[in-house]
Structure 1
Amino acid sequence: MSLKSVRSFIETLEKEHPDAKTELVYQNPFELLVSVVLSAQATDKSVNLATKKLFAVASAPQAMLALGEENIAQYIRTIGLWRAKSRNIALLSQQLLERHNGEVPRTRKELEALAGVGRKTANVVLNVAFGEATMAVDTHIFRISNRTGLAPGKTVLEVEKSLVKRIPPDLLPPAHNRLILHGRYICKARKPECQLCSVAQWCLYKDKNPGPIPTLPKVNRDLSVH
């Protein structure tokens, strides 16, 4: 996809999703960090159900550390990998207190040094909490980037770097959530709804899904003259 098409592609998604934001529910950077750590191999909906009760009793590192790993686990048992995640949340809370005075750091290097935090999680926090021009590549964004020709790449890191390079800087920060929404609801993995896609004209996907064949209205075949 040409750079001119990239801008048109992203600008059109901006018009379609002007208020796009993460579907994770949070009130501060710490809650966002915890939610993103929990979201690995889990849906945003399942995370929100668990954190609604968890954050009611622990919305800051001090309270989360005081709650402890075993008690954290009781709140997140419905989420995949809950044992490892409860351990990581307790440890990263301790690390935030010891290294950053309880504040969520604003650099990728410092974020990635926290328990359970990888590059994608760090990018989400930097983008969503602090408005940084980062791109967290999840399965939706990876698929869209390769399928449409927006920013092809064989690895997540290749796609991330390509997106950051190809998307105009003024459109980059909010593009993350808009691409996720597009992948979640339109450019789906198995059956992309190309017939409903607002950016199909710039998409280079060869096997576009035309959608269901419309049903023709019944014709009155009684042509006899009375």
Structure 2
Amino acid sequence: MNQTQRQQFFSRLRDHNPSPTTELNFKTPFELLIAVILSAQATDVGVNKATDKLYPVANTPQAILDLGLDGLKSYIKTIGLFNSKAENVIKTCQQLIDKHGGEVPDAREALEALPGVGRKTANVILNTVFKYPVMAVDTHIFRLSNRTGLAKGKNVREVEDRLMKVIPDEFKLDAHHWLILHGRYVCTARKPHCDQCIVTDLCDEYRRAQRQRKTA
């Protein structure tokens, strides 16, 4: 995919969804941080079911600490890996209080120092909360970027770096949300819905398949 095609790619996604955002339910930066920590290897729907019950009871670092580890687990036990996630959330809450006045920091280094927070989670917070034009690459975006030819790479960091280099500046702020939603609902892993896709003519894999059909 060349730069002219990338411009068309994101223009169409923007026209289709002018104001994309995360599907995780949150009202504060802290709520989003906890939701993203819980979302690792879990669905947004599953996380929302848990946090919709948790946040009315405890949605600040101190309130979650007051619940205690077992109390927190009782709310998130339906989420995969909930034991280790609960421990990370408790440790993160304590660190937020001890080092950041109970607030979510807006610096990558400080975010990545929090238990359970890696580069992808930090990028989600920096982008969604603090509006930094950064790219959080998950399995959906990794797959879509390689499949379409938007930005190819052997691992998520290569894809992230490539995306940041080739995405036109006007689209960088919202690109993460457009790509994850497109990968989640249209450019799916096993059977992409090419008949519903608004960028098929720009996709490397789709065009390759079309050429193979013509020569078969």
In 2, Cα distance between the equivalents of 1:206 and 1:173? 27
Check if 1:202 corresponds to 2:211. no
Q: Which residue of structure 2 aligns with residue 131 of structure 1? A: 131
Q: Which residue of structure 2 aligns with residue 213 of structure 1? A: none
In 1, Cα distance between the equivalents of 2:151 and 2:207? 18
Q: Which residue of structure 2 aligns with residue 80 of structure 1? A: 80
In 2, Cα distance between the equivalents of 1:27 and 1:206? 39
In 2, Cα distance between the equivalents of 1:156 and 1:39? 17
Q: Which residue of structure 2 aligns with residue 111 of structure 1? A: 111
Q: Which residue of structure 1 aligns with residue 38 of structure 2? A: 38
Ranges of 4+ aligned residues in structure 1 off by more than 6 Å? 207-210
Structure 1 residues 36 and 209, CA gap change in structure 2 (3 angstroms): farther
Contact 1:106–1:126 (8 Å) recurs in 2: yes
The gaps in structure 1 that reach 5 residues or longer are: 211-226
Check if 1:120 corresponds to 2:120. yes
| 3-state DSSP of counterpart to 1:130 | coil
Deviations 1:1-42 (A, max 9, x none): 111111110111111111211100000000000000000010
In 1, Cα distance between the equivalents of 2:44 and 2:209? 27
Number of residues of Structure 1 aligned to a counterpart in Structure 2 = 210
Q: Which residue of structure 1 aligns with residue 150 of structure 2? A: 150
| 3-state DSSP of counterpart to 2:95 | helix
**Residue identity opposite 1:40 in structure 2:** A
In 2, Cα distance between the equivalents of 1:86 and 1:34? 10
Contact 2:201–2:207 (8 Å) recurs in 1: no
Structure of higher CA gyration radius: 1
In 2, Cα distance between the equivalents of 1:143 and 1:208? 16
Structure 1 residues 8 and 207, CA gap change in structure 2 (3 angstroms): closer
Contact 1:191–1:209 (8 Å) recurs in 2: no
Aligned 1:5-16 pairs, distance under 5 A: 5-16=5-16
Aligned 1:208-223 pairs, distance under 5 A: none
The gaps in structure 2 that reach 5 residues or longer are: 211-216
**Residue identity opposite 1:20 in structure 2:** P
Structure 1 residues 44 and 209, CA gap change in structure 2 (3 angstroms): farther
Q: Give TM-score, length-normalised by structure 1.
A: 0.90
Q: In the TM superposition, what is the alpha-carbon distance from 1:206 to its structure 2 partner? A: 4.7
| 3-state DSSP of counterpart to 1:150 | coil
**Residue identity opposite 1:134 in structure 2:** V
Q: Which residue of structure 2 aligns with residue 177 of structure 1? A: 177
Q: Which residue of structure 1 aligns with residue 55 of structure 2? A: 55
